[in-house]
Structure 1
């Protein structure tokens, strides 16, 4: 909106997603949103360093330096806080319009409301919540963000895999009818895995070295998709494996369609959506890519049309790439911007 001060945003948790959100906001040049505070238990020197230098996304494209208790990023001042509890921060005094909860530590409604009771007007969570009732809405931008309830105060941005899968599943269900869906997530290693074998997690598989094995892990993807696409309830199964890469993941999706189709038709539907209603969220390629080609790609999903297969002729298999960090961080900013502008 012209001629108004930027919306004031705070980050709670400054790990992979929090840092990507800050960097993405800077790279997008979105003058309507401004990060004014971040809260993390790390020391300020480490926060400055990991903002400036990132092994996955490269050097920050602008000035980053500490200035007393603040982090100065590209000329903007961000207050750095170090509190372990929501009640330890004067959120009202910060005058924020929205908190992006990026720690992943708050998953129930009771936990989320602690921020509201402490003075936060709205909270956008960077993870799926423990139950559908834990938030006022779970949003996938481009699918259901316009259905955000007017009185919402707690909202989930779902997961990176849900943001990848839901737009194209919705499209293909409308066009082909989906009788059954099976998804395998091929996900890059995450910080709940050790570099070498260690007593690191209650899931014994995740005590093993992240970079020496392909490791099956649990996933709530099927449940997350059914929350957003209830018409597919009872038809989805999902599993996940972690693979020894640092970023960029993929969904291997198998669909049993209600009618005959072909690889050409499926690819045409997805290509047209990428050029039309899902432009900016969905992309399409048939080039001979490897996963690293999609590092720092802001799309939620990139369909690799060269890998589309149809058998039967109702059994469809797709390979869909996504940058699990950068794409998701951009969707958080999309939802944040829509939510705040709608409130005006």
Structure 2
């Protein structure tokens, strides 16, 4: 039995090619981890409740589209070491160019590891992390990508093109078991880690969406506020960094004319469905939120402003307390809290979905507040893609 007064003890025992790790945490868990190409963990709470989990291997992942999100999903996978990327497809990038683009990043810096190619395989490694040997495909048709042959059970659809169930379904023909769309979807169920990911249904949800980066920022904050004080209605504004879809200089736009104006020269009002999408992941907020975006000339990191009417009166200090508690508790790793005098560049490569800025948030009265939360719209989002895969793999 495990005493609740046990002090922290950690030891690793190596026997032949097997490794056992024993961890005793005060007032928490006894954890025994076993690893030899497979993984096994036994967790016993101090209350006596037993949890047993066995997984034969890390989830095997394929990435379709080696653009901003595709490359950063791979970086996140290497850093987290919780999934194994085994295949990448991009019809527009040669394998040697993939090496270059992955190694050098103007925003997030040079990859702190090694990347090379051998034949049609990318070899990505970092000290202390598992090596990823990645089969490279160059197919335009997702139905032709041999995910099954590469061993990729979970495919990240990050081209921004195949965002509906019908289109993303093509990946299943190539042997993938699940598809995670790294964008909002018109018809695929959307999951936001920390908010509604536990509603994932393994038997029926074969193609899912990780929603948008802005929804991933707004939803955790909205959940905390709604759970504690209730949201009557709200308006969201995201001040959003430029993305690859914008023009470097004035040019034609297929949608609103001003969308085609030079991204480096202008603050551009734009539409976003991120706030309305919160209603899909938090049903009790359906129809209560909407929003817009301002695209600004910064390369990365965006910020959400949620202006809301509350059901229960709350001081700004009350709000700060519950957000901080959530950030240090159930939403740790997803939601963060800061009282520092921060600016956008301070959050480049931040892995959280949402970082609440206590100093920038204000209230007009106890029922009307403006709450501010930052997010790295590239890297924070990419980390949640990996986390979502890790979660759904436990349900297999």
TM-score where L is the length of structure 2: 0.82
Post-superposition offset of 1:28: 2.1
Which residue matches 2:35?
Answer: 2
Determine the C-alpha separation between the residues in 2 that align with 1:202 and 1:179: 32
**Pairing 1:48–2:107 present:** no
- Work out whether residues 191 and 210 of structure 2, in 8 Å CA contact, stay in contact via their aligned partners in 1: yes
- Work out whether residues 324 and 337 of structure 2, in 8 Å CA contact, stay in contact via their aligned partners in 1: yes
Which structure shows the higher helix fraction? 1
Which structure is richer in relative contact order (CA contacts within 8 A, separation 6 or more)? 1
**CA distance change for structure 1 residues 200 and 78 in 2, over 3 Å: closer, same or farther?**
farther
Unaligned runs of 5+ in 1: none
- Work out whether residues 273 and 290 of structure 2, in 8 Å CA contact, stay in contact via their aligned partners in 1: no
- Work out whether residues 215 and 274 of structure 2, in 8 Å CA contact, stay in contact via their aligned partners in 1: yes
Which residue matches 1:226?
Answer: 279
Post-superposition offset of 1:321: 0.3
Which residue matches 2:86?
Answer: 36
Q: Where do residues 1-344 of structure 1 align in structure 2 (5 Å cutoff)?
A: 2-3=35-36, 4=38, 5-30=57-82, 33-41=83-91, 42-74=93-125, 75-130=131-186, 134-135=187-188, 137-151=189-203, 152-199=205-252, 201-343=254-396
Q: Which is greater in Rg?
A: 2
Post-superposition offset of 1:161: 0.8
- Work out whether residues 102 and 126 of structure 1, in 8 Å CA contact, stay in contact via their aligned partners in 2: yes
Determine the C-alpha separation between the residues in 2 that align with 1:181 and 1:112: 33
Unaligned runs of 5+ in 2: 1-33, 39-56, 126-130
Question: Alignment RMSD, CA only?
Answer: 1.4
**CA distance change for structure 1 residues 119 and 29 in 2, over 3 Å: closer, same or farther?**
closer
**CA distance change for structure 1 residues 153 and 198 in 2, over 3 Å: closer, same or farther?**
same
- Work out whether residues 261 and 310 of structure 1, in 8 Å CA contact, stay in contact via their aligned partners in 2: no
Determine the C-alpha separation between the residues in 1 that align with 2:364 and 2:250: 41
TM-score where L is the length of structure 1: 0.94
- Work out whether residues 189 and 245 of structure 1, in 8 Å CA contact, stay in contact via their aligned partners in 2: yes
Determine the C-alpha separation between the residues in 2 that align with 1:76 and 1:233: 41
Aligned length: 337
Give secondary structure in 2 for the equivalent of 1:307: coil
Post-superposition offset of 1:200: 5.2
